Amino acid sequence: MLIVPEALIASLVSPEDAFAAVEATFAAMARGDAYNFPVVREALGEGRQYGFKSGLDRAGKQLGVKAGGYFPGNAEKGMINHQSSVFLFDPDTGRPVAMVGGNLLTALRTAAASAVSIDRLARGDAKVLGIVGAGHQAGFQLRAAARARRFERVIGWNLHPEMLPRLGAVAADLGLPFESVELPRMREADVIVTITSSPAASLMAEHVSPGTHLACMGTDTKGKQEVEPALLAKASVFTDEVAQSVTIGEAQHAVAAGALSEADIVAVGQVLIGAHPGRRSAEEITVFDGTGVGLQDLAVAAVAVARARERGMGMEVGV
């Protein structure tokens, strides 16, 4: 099996690779060629979370699991709090194929998912990008969004405003003006990406203008929440996987409140394969509930493994 350590990932997988891999994965899920296994997630105590996201892509011949979690003490030790590794197996024999560092891959595949949703669901004339959140993942989301539309400026809000200058620096790197705003000014945005670990809604329905596309990416477990359920109730809601959306995604709250039904939520893969038209009008609010599926992790890890093999990188070990 090939070991591809974290340190090699940046030289092996680009944001464009991640976009293509995630788009293909969502399409394979919609065709019924690929499916995710139930997510396992356990609280380890002292704020630590650990879990497994796994799946099988029959068409892409991927079988595997991402093992990882959240370790809040890591920052003090000079490491990022989210840590993960991806393990790939031969779907015909079950033999291990590769172990791949999963930290940067997680950031890239999450940013790619929101970018796929912007590419397919945002208005073509979107000019203003709003970002709610300014943590580790936010800059990746901004960079990926900027590839999907020709934004003219970026506005950002974060509960902890001292974190916003780092996001502003990413915008500057992309040549985009950046302004810190209060939440009501999110009405100026044509596309809003939410990427926080908030336990309660920050963004309210009154903060969002008609015609906006939202990519809600922060809520990936029970008990997190970024937007008011009333916003989902009046929007067309899309997701990576409906089963995750209603249990661990942003839609869990609107569904529990009876403001949205599971049957109203559309897998974005349906849009990708032409089975759903996507956005229907310039006034419609569209929401992508990005919960993060194991097949995304397998898809980007497979790119890393293929590139590493082509270039003779990584470490081959016997099994």
Query: Binding residues for ligand NAD, per CB under 6 A?
Result: 81-82, 106, 110, 133-138, 158-160, 163, 195-199, 202, 217-218, 220, 224, 290-292
Distances (CA, A) of 219 to 132, 206, 216, 224, 247: 13, 20, 7, 5, 10
Vertex 282: Cα angle to 276 and 288 (nearest 5): 50
Task: Report, in Å, the least distance between residue 308 CB and ligand NAD.
Answer: 23
Task: Report, in Å, the least distance between residue 201 CB and ligand NAD.
Answer: 9
Task: Report, in Å, the least distance between residue 216 CB and ligand NAD.
Answer: 9
Task: Report, in Å, the least distance between residue 140 CB and ligand NAD.
Answer: 8
SS3 content of the chain, % helix, strand, coil (to 5): 40, 25, 35
Please tell me which residue in 61, 66, 127, 234 is annotated as part of the active site.
66
Task: Report, in Å, the least distance between residue 93 CB and ligand NAD.
Answer: 30
Written as six digits, the tokens of 245 are 């959306």
Written as six digits, the tokens of 308 are 């590493």
Which CB atom, from 138 or from 235, has the smaller least distance to ligand NAD?
Answer: 138
Whether the CB-CB separation of 242 and 262 falls below 8 Å is answered with yes
User: Is 222 noted as a catalytic residue in this protein?
Assistant: no
Which CB atom, from 201 or from 260, has the smaller least distance to ligand NAD?
Answer: 201
Provide the 3-class DSSP secondary structure of residue 280: coil
Give the whole-angstrom CA distance, residue 234 versus residue 247: 20
Would you list the DSSP string of 101-161? E-HHHHHHHHHHHHHHHHHHHS-TT--EEEEE--STTHHHHHHHHHHHS--SEEEEE-SSG
Which CB atom, from 163 or from 313, has the smaller least distance to ligand NAD?
Answer: 163
For 203, which DSSP code? B
Distances (CA, A) of 203 to 132, 183, 231, 232: 8, 7, 9, 11
Which residue of this chain has its Cβ atom nearest to ligand NAD in the complex? 135
Distances (CA, A) of 61 to 93, 105, 147: 11, 19, 29
State the number of CA atoms in the 13 A half-sphere of 210 facing the CB: 5
Which CB atom, from 136 or from 309, has the smaller least distance to ligand NAD?
Answer: 136
Rounded to 10°, the helix 164-173/138-148 angle is 30
Which CB atom, from 81 or from 270, has the smaller least distance to ligand NAD?
Answer: 81
Which CB atom, from 73 or from 199, has the smaller least distance to ligand NAD?
Answer: 199
Catalytic residues: 66
